[in-house]
Copies of this chain bind each other. A is one copy, B any other.
């Protein structure tokens, strides 16, 4: 079976039917032509002689890990060479490797060095003193030592203050003594911890004279640098098979009277002095600020996974032909079935909406970081609320969106070689890590409760919360014009009223004698709903502004503007329909209004139909990134499915060994 050199004619036709310039779209969605070009350069360099992902499907668990180590080291070396060629001395393209789609293409099962690059080195820089950075950080940046960030335990994830690992300060030796006092206090999950790292940052409860001083960070060597043997008192290993990410080498760690010098506690903020004096961190407001950055990255990362799945599904749906519409007519591309368009097009437009809102959130983070460096913390709560709401809804939408896309590929979506299962396994993990989604929504809900008090007291609101004050001042929703502004305002008005209702329920509970946290728990359903809508109103408004602001319009060609108008139209109509149960509670709509929305939905699906393949081309995924027999640029789907099947170990000999051993004796015994 050889793969044809030609592009599948259906895909040729699709590309010819596009009404816009794909390269202009790519530069727009990457928001930076330089970033796009850099990405392509890195891909070219790294994919030159990269391994075939299909083979990974059949490696043993142990060999997936061993290959992960090898490929991570090789890729890091290549990338370092490239970095030196392009920007000597910099480090900015390393994260490109370990997190984004390029890293996943090289290591579809994840990398045991990812947490080292993304968290260990960053934490040493952000939490260590200059001396500590000189001692550990430089070696870590240089990969002379490999570390991880050991926070979660077998018994605790979300609730940081519940961690049980202890670090007791001992004055006479000027040391901390680290212990895992219970089974549930074992560190559990850190990437690379199992068999890869020789150092880690341990998050533990600091005790001085048996008095708890809160959670602190400690640098700990866990394995010998020469032999890699675990050091005394260290019980360390792999946590075993997971749904995905077999290469990440998540590990466990138990500690028994392990001693480290006092100077191994990261002391940029809080400090322990030699006499046992504890000096508190001066900037406790900042505790959750680094998480905002990570949550931006999670949003953008899950966007990429979702976009990959949309690209694979769209291309396959343009190639696959099935079920004639009129009997005896030829079978159409499945993309011509309306139900298929309804499955795919909203996912594409959701990707774009999150890409825009994630980009805006990241810019807000950068501005706020500057403000913070001037000790201006005013915008932290609103940024925190947005990052929580967006992280929760984006990871949820992408996870379930990828699965719906996979299902819309029919049986072949169930093949490992479609890569859709792997994308799902990555996306869904993000619903849990970096803040479990329901917990995040509850945090947003609490901020909304506080903000609603400000609304009632007519205080000034934070910019991204200002709509709550505006909408609260309306007795009822203004006349329904149905235009884009109206649809965005309908979402804002609904978010406002959901907040009002949750606030009312919460206050009734306080009056009935519940404590504030009890009332929050009891109002949890309504609060999470309000929080979700707050996030969705922000996403819708960001999309609306991007498409309608004159200064943005002027930078784009007319054909691209037309495309974006269609995408916005679909996004708003579809989002409003999706939240119609809440909207109709607060806004009266007639049968004509509702029929009109359905007609607009169907009309814009038809408008977008000829551009779907081209939009996905514009996401600019390298075939090695998609790594899918269904999603290749050339559309030679069936040949690739067959080629992948041929690699199954069960196809390497005519008769499997179990035939003589088990099957034949079984059949013969029945004669």
Q: B638 touching A154 by the CB < 8 A rule?
A: yes
Q: A339 touching B241 by the CB < 8 A rule?
A: no
Task: Please tell me if A57 contacts chain B, counting CB pairs below 8 Å.
Answer: yes
- B residues near A279, Cβ cutoff 8 Å: none
Residue interface mask A423-446, B partner, CB < 8 A = 1? 000001101110011110010000
- B residues near A442, Cβ cutoff 8 Å: 339
Give the distance in Å from the alpha carbon of A249 to the alpha carbon of B663 in the complex.
14
- B residues near A429, Cβ cutoff 8 Å: 414
- What are 24 A-B contacts defined by CB distance under 8 Å? A57-B61, A60-B649, A69-B658, A69-B659, A73-B662, A73-B663, A146-B663, A155-B321, A158-B410, A159-B322, A194-B650, A195-B650, A228-B655, A237-B648, A238-B648, A240-B416, A240-B417, A241-B415, A242-B415, A249-B650, A407-B431, A411-B432, A413-B432, A581-B584
Main secondary structure of the interface of A (DSSP, over half): helix
Task: Please tell me if A288 contacts chain B, counting CB pairs below 8 Å.
Answer: no
Q: A322 touching B237 by the CB < 8 A rule?
A: no
Task: Please tell me if A543 contacts chain B, counting CB pairs below 8 Å.
Answer: no
Select one of B239, B323, B337, B669 contacting A645, CB under 8 A: B239
Task: Please tell me if A642 contacts chain B, counting CB pairs below 8 Å.
Answer: yes
Select one of B195, B658, B666 contacting A143, CB under 8 A: B666
Residue interface mask A645-666, B partner, CB < 8 A = 1? 1111111001111110111111
Q: How many copies does the complex hold?
A: 2
User: For residue A142, which residue of chain B has the nearest CB?
Assistant: B670
Q: B411 touching A195 by the CB < 8 A rule?
A: no
Q: B521 touching A337 by the CB < 8 A rule?
A: yes
The list of the 5 closest CB pairs from A to B, nearest first, reads A580-B581, A73-B666, A241-B416, A66-B658, A238-B650
- B residues near A417, Cβ cutoff 8 Å: 240-241
Q: A28-36, A265-273, A524-532, A560-568: which one contacts chain B? A: A524-532
Give the distance in Å from the alpha carbon of A664 to the alpha carbon of B143 in the complex.
10
Task: Please tell me if A591 contacts chain B, counting CB pairs below 8 Å.
Answer: yes
User: For residue A420, which residue of chain B has the nearest CB?
Assistant: B243
- B residues near A671, Cβ cutoff 8 Å: 144
Task: Please tell me if A517 contacts chain B, counting CB pairs below 8 Å.
Answer: yes
Task: Please tell me if A482 contacts chain B, counting CB pairs below 8 Å.
Answer: no
- B residues near A58, Cβ cutoff 8 Å: 60-61, 241
Select one of B69, B238, B339, B581 contacting A663, CB under 8 A: B69
Give the distance to chain B from A606, nearest Cβ to Cβ, in Å. 9
Q: A66 touching B644 by the CB < 8 A rule?
A: no
Q: A658 touching B65 by the CB < 8 A rule?
A: yes
Give the distance in Å from the alpha carbon of A670 to the alpha carbon of B143 in the complex.
6
Q: A410 touching B436 by the CB < 8 A rule?
A: yes
User: For residue A337, which residue of chain B has the nearest CB?
Assistant: B521
Give the distance in Å from the alpha carbon of A147 to the alpha carbon of B449 in the complex.
64
- B residues near A642, Cβ cutoff 8 Å: 154, 183, 186, 252
Knowing A243-B421, A442-B339, say if A62 contacts B656 (CB, 8 Å): yes
Task: Please tell me if A594 contacts chain B, counting CB pairs below 8 Å.
Answer: yes
Give the distance in Å from the alpha carbon of A84 to the alpha carbon of B61 in the complex.
42
Q: A37-45, A325-333, A357-365: which one contacts chain B? A: A325-333
Q: A407 touching B421 by the CB < 8 A rule?
A: no
Q: A228 touching B664 by the CB < 8 A rule?
A: yes
Residue interface mask A59-93, B partner, CB < 8 A = 1? 01110011001100100110000000000000000
